[in-house]
Structure 1
């Protein structure tokens, strides 16, 4: 009793599982980049600037909310303790750039007050956060 000979099938790659894996990886990378692009600070509406450039150095984010509340790297502080708080962080990483992230509805005077307090720190590098149009 002889069995009939089966034809040899060429090897195949099943594409359906491959597509599932590719979409799973794509989803992972999209979600992980969303977490990497969030800045450290309170939610504020940044003003627009056509000439805005992104900073690559490590940042210390000083946030001024619409209500005038002040925070350094998401920790609420008062204006009198601002220079001391920034100095402590700069001791750990002296090449950091201090970025002022002020809501666009905050008065100009309040931003200037914060900048003056920060400029009292020797060797400080300041930047102002904006969003591109």
Structure 2
């Protein structure tokens, strides 16, 4: 007696679980990379300069917002607290770089006052943050 042949179903690979795993790994890397970006502090409108260059050895950023208030990170400091705060944040006195990010609307005299205070610290090099001239919006 002969049994009827059952049609064999072709072998197939279900790729839906593999796609789920790939998207989960991709989402993990995207979300984790958002936490790796460096926060430069508060948003200020930097003046432009045609000779602007990046500073790879950036150590400490002192921000002057549009009202002229001095901030390190997101914490405000008075003029008499600034030197003590910078001294505690900079451990390497040899070649320490302090970058001043001053809003374009801050009066020049205010920036010079902060620079003058920071120059009294031994071993501190000063730099002023600008944005490349190409990044500026064209004047109307």
Task: Provide TM-score, normalisation by structure 1.
Answer: 0.75
The whole-number CA distance in structure 1 between the counterparts of 2:21 and 2:129 is 38
Q: Which runs of 5+ in 2 are unaligned?
A: 136-140
Q: Which runs of 5+ in 1 are unaligned?
A: none
Partner of 1:69: 69
- Distance change (3 Å), C-alpha of 1:56 and 1:68: same
- Distance change (3 Å), C-alpha of 1:112 and 1:22: farther
Task: Provide TM-score, normalisation by structure 2.
Answer: 0.72
Q: What secondary structure is seen at the aligned counterpart in 2 of 1:56?
A: coil
Partner of 1:114: 114
Instruction: Compare CA radii of gyration and give the structure with the larger one.
Output: 2
Query: How far apart are 1:103 and its partner, in Å?
Result: 0.4
Query: How far apart are 1:129 and its partner, in Å?
Result: 1.5
Residue deviations 1:44-88 (CA, integer Å, cap 9, x gap): 111122322222225211111111111122211111221121111
Judging by fraction of residues, say which structure has more helix: 1
Q: Pairwise CA RMSD of aligned residues?
A: 2.7
Partner of 1:100: 100
